[in-house]
């Protein structure tokens, strides 16, 4: 597929980047050097380019399944012009990290428990449930103990999806692809706890979205 070489627009991302940054600022360390953050499904690349300058001690690694977006991710990266923002790498989060392509100076076979943070914005509802399962499975292997997975998007809570606009959004997603749909936090908690990851905090953000903070609580060695 042809790679776009210019920044692609993402109006929703432009609206949600500041509220997400405010949540990140509560949890991401700003002092200790050498911290590492892996973003899954970076889209056009605007989020990491916006966040990285605020956390110069953290190396931000964007990634995408759709490699035609690499040019846009790189265009945002070049505009941000900060040393702690890497070029994008290809990641299909539904696959185990041990199978990921290692041709990017990031060897995921030897990256077990090497990331302090993982970030995933607006992917779970617009991809098959295997991607949500893969996100927690891979986070349990790639995060250090005490590391955080931060996810953002619309979510249902204990079987209830509100308001009506999110119900309609969920219907439209399922019409586009029956495997898509807004995920319930209780279903996500089941997958997370099976992977040694606990729900730590939930923030209500504008436009009926939430930011969920998950913490890896188990030692890697106890995870099968």
Ligand X SMILES: C[S@@+](CC[C@H](N)C(=O)[O-])C[C@H]1O[C@@H](n2cnc3c(N)ncnc32)[C@H](O)[C@@H]1O
Question: Contact positions toward ligand X, by CB under 6 A?
Answer: 10, 13, 40-43, 64-66, 91-94, 121-123, 126-127, 131
Instruction: Tell me the closest approach of the beta carbon of residue 7 to ligand X, in angstroms.
Output: 12
Instruction: Choose between 58 and 123: whose C-beta lies nearer to ligand X.
Output: 123
Instruction: Choose between 43 and 154: whose C-beta lies nearer to ligand X.
Output: 43
Instruction: Choose between 55 and 70: whose C-beta lies nearer to ligand X.
Output: 70
Instruction: Tell me the closest approach of the beta carbon of residue 27 to ligand X, in angstroms.
Output: 18
CA distances from 3 to 22, 60, 66, 163, 221 (A): 32, 21, 10, 37, 40
Sign of the dihedral through C-alpha 158, 142, 122, 54: positive
Instruction: Tell me the closest approach of the beta carbon of residue 153 to ligand X, in angstroms.
Output: 8
Instruction: Tell me the closest approach of the beta carbon of residue 44 to ligand X, in angstroms.
Output: 6
Tokens read off for 151 = 């996810």
Residue nearest to ligand X (CB): 43
Instruction: Choose between 9 and 171: whose C-beta lies nearer to ligand X.
Output: 9
């Amino acid at each position: 597929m042809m790679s776009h070489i210019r920044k692609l627009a993402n109006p929703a991302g432009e609206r949600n980047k500041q509220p997400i940054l405010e949540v990140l600022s509560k949890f991401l360390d700003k002092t200790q050097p050498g911290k590492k953050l892996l973003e899954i499904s970076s889209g056009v690349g605007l989020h990491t380019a916006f966040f990285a300058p605020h956390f110069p001690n953290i190396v931000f690694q964007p990634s995408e399944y759709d490699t035609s977006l690499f040019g846009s991710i790189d265009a945002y990266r070049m505009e941000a012009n900060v040393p702690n923002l890497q070029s994008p790498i290809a990641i299909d989060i539904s696959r185990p990290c041990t199978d990921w392509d290692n041709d990017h100076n990031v060897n995921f076979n030897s990256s077990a428990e090497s990331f302090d943070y993982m970030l995933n914005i607006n992917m779970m509802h617009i991809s098959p449930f295997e991607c949500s399962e893969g996100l927690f499975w891979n986070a349990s292997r790639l995060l250090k103990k005490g590391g955080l997975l931060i996810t953002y998007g619309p979510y249902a809570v204990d079987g209830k999806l509100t308001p009506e606009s999110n119900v309609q959004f969920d219907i439209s997603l399922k019409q586009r692809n029956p495997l898509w749909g807004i995920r319930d936090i209780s279903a996500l908690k089941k997958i997370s706890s099976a992977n040694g990851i606990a729900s730590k905090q939930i923030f209500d953000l504008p436009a009926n979205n939430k930011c969920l903070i998950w913490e890896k609580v188990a030692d890697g060695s106890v995870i099968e």
